[in-house]
Amino acid sequence: RDRTRCEIMIDYGANWRSITVRICTIMDLLLYLNFIPTLIAGPVNRATELMPQITASRRTLVDYKRALYLIALSLVKLFLLSSWLNDTFVLPVFTLPAGQNGWDSLLAVYGWAWNIYFNFSGYTDLVTGLALLLGFRIARNFAHPYLAGSVKAFWRDWHISLSTFIRDYVYFPLGGNRKGAIWTQINVMVAMVISGLWHGAGMTFLLWGAIHGAGLVVHNLWHRWGKVRLPGLPARLLTFHFVCLAWVFFRADSISDAVTILSNIAGGSLSSLSLQQYRALFLFVGIIVLYPALVDIRLTIIDRVADLRWYTLPLVIIPLLALAFFLAPSGVPGFIYAHF
């Protein structure tokens, strides 16, 4: 009917149905493939979700208050929280794991768990805010994953766009859960190993994916035949530490380095625990215990920001960014997932 639309008749046996399809130009396709906000490290945008926004006849700012809040929050996560955790806890141990104190190794693992969370979620907040200012809504990638009480719940909330992509284009084509319980677990394991290899063609990433695959298989079997269900906090703590175990292999430069770090942790003793290490451990454990309350506070802040007048936004955002940049380590943080 016009340059951008056509009408297609589809034969459903005795019935004909008409659907309208929007035709994209080569420029639309190139913009989709090179969509700048998510080009470096996602989220993974489906054409069915992003292409209609690209081919729209007009575009305006979308929820600019939330966009500015997300951008400010992302800079706090990236420049302050992620950078500080990396410099203070992660780099000293993972760079040279041999001979490290067991408690320092444990703190490095905890630090990495939150470092990658703040880095990746911060990047996602940043590109989501930028996309909103450009008039686009992109795929959601995080839903507070450390609230998860199971490995399955973790993957429902961590890197959501990749998880659903692997599910739809690997797990389902393999047969999903349609071929019986045994093949279901095999398909789960294959999908998670492929997810690991997506991050890098190395044994550490393959083993990271296999560990999560094994965790999902155990969860599925326990959910099918087990009678005991852990309550909220113990389930969250167990899930968090399982995820941390897998993170060791994800971050380590080699499997031998990962084994060394785990050996250091296993060899730690209470007599070697210093006051500084005790305080850091108390902080990390306190954060995961209080995480649900912190999530509620964050959601409350989002609601309050939405109620602010436009001219009051700088009075909130500028002091927050100034404090973050003042306390942040020097240098520009990198995007961890840009390497994958």
Catalytic residues: 199
Q: What is the DSSP string of 147-184?
A: G-SSHHHHHHHBSHHHHHHHIIIIIHHHTTTTT-HHHH
Per the DSSP assignment, residues forming a β-bridge with 22 are 5
Cβ atoms 309, 132 nearer than 8 A: no
Region of residue 42 (phi > 0: left; psi between -120 and 50: alpha; otherwise: beta): left
3-state secondary structure 321-335: HHHHHHHCCCCCCCC
Pairing of strands 5-12, 15-22: antiparallel
51-82 in b/e form (b: 16+ CB < 10 A) is bebbbeeeeeeeeebebbbbbbbbbbbbbbbb
Q: Using alpha carbons only, how large is the chain's radius of gyration in Å?
A: 23
Report how far apart, in Å, the C-alpha atoms of 172 and of each of 188, 190, 192 are.
10, 11, 13
In sequence order, the 6+-apart residues with CB closer than 8 A to the CB of 123 are 40, 41, 74, 78, 335, 337
